Amino acid sequence: MTMHLQGSLFDQTDEVRLAPLDGLRRTRLGSGAWIDLLPGWLSGADALFERLASGVPWRAERRAMYERVVDVPRLLAFYGAPDPLPDPLLAEARDALSAHYADELGEPFTTAGLCHYRDGRDSVAWHGDRTGRGARRDTMVAILSVGAPRDLLLRPAGGGDTVRRPLGHGDLIVMGGSCQRTWEHCVPKSSRAAGPRISIQFRPHGVR
């Protein structure tokens, strides 16, 4: 199953290229959590979207939820540290992030999780990436977004005001510090007609 992007509506550039990461801007959320944002990190993102949509072996999963087993409302793929990534541009992105954050993170980004939101009905519920080291230590999760714009929402884990960050075609967001422990994030369903979106999440070893 391949869902195509109406490319020319999103990105007018043919050259697929990552911008320098020194354009990242940090927002401190509180409790040691922060987000870095770089809109338009990737230009020419239509081509990457099409390659990933058609080339990644997407899995539809089902999960136990309370007393029922339900469809996970998005398609998934995961590449662990030893796995070759499905596109050379993803390796370039991972390596650029690892170099940029080397001092602050102290380890490289090694895994890539991919989510394919087929339309506005697909979503991810409130959560923190707390499986593994994200539960105990500060870490970083970097997300490159391609395709239809969707909102990423963040809120303090104990409750509080929600922060909304619209993620567009080629945008980068990095959640860092204590963000996975002290805050939660989600991509809510959208009642607006939303086209397909692919999110690529880079994480260090042992963070899920």
Q: Comparing C-alpha atoms, which of 124, 89, 101 is closest to residue 176? A: 101
Q: Comparing C-alpha atoms, which of 167, 44, 208, 58 is closest to residue 118? A: 58
Q: Which of 96, 187, 194, 207 binds ligand AKG (CB under 6 A)?
A: 187
Q: Which of 169, 181, 185, 203 binds ligand AKG (CB under 6 A)?
A: 185
Counting Cβ atoms within 10 Å, is residue 104 exposed (0-12), middle (13-18) or buried (19+)? exposed
Q: Is 77 in the site for ligand AKG (CB under 6 A)?
A: no
Local structure of residue 185 (DSSP, 8 states): E
Count of beta carbons in the 10 Å neighbourhood of residue 165: 16
Q: Is 198 in the site for ligand AKG (CB under 6 A)?
A: no
C-alpha–C-alpha distance, residues 61 and 203, integer Å: 21
Enumerate the H helices of the chain as residue ranges.
7-10, 45-55, 88-100, 102-105, 179-182
Nearer to ligand AKG, 103 or 131 (CB): 131
9, 128, 129, 135 from 46: Cα distances, Å: 10, 29, 28, 35
Q: Which of 34, 93, 113, 183 binds ligand AKG (CB under 6 A)?
A: 113
Nearer to ligand AKG, 110 or 145 (CB): 145
List the interface residues with ligand AKG, window 19-38 (CB under 6 A).
none
Nearer to ligand AKG, 67 or 172 (CB): 172
Q: Which of 53, 143, 148, 194 binds ligand AKG (CB under 6 A)?
A: 143
Question: How many residues in the shown chain lie near ligand AKG by CB under 6 A?
Answer: 11
Nearer to ligand AKG, 51 or 165 (CB): 165
Nearer to ligand AKG, 5 or 152 (CB): 152
Q: Comparing C-alpha atoms, which of 130, 88, 94, 131 is closest to residue 109? A: 94
Interacting residues with ligand AKG (CB under 6 A) = 113, 115, 124, 129, 143, 145, 152, 185, 187, 199, 201
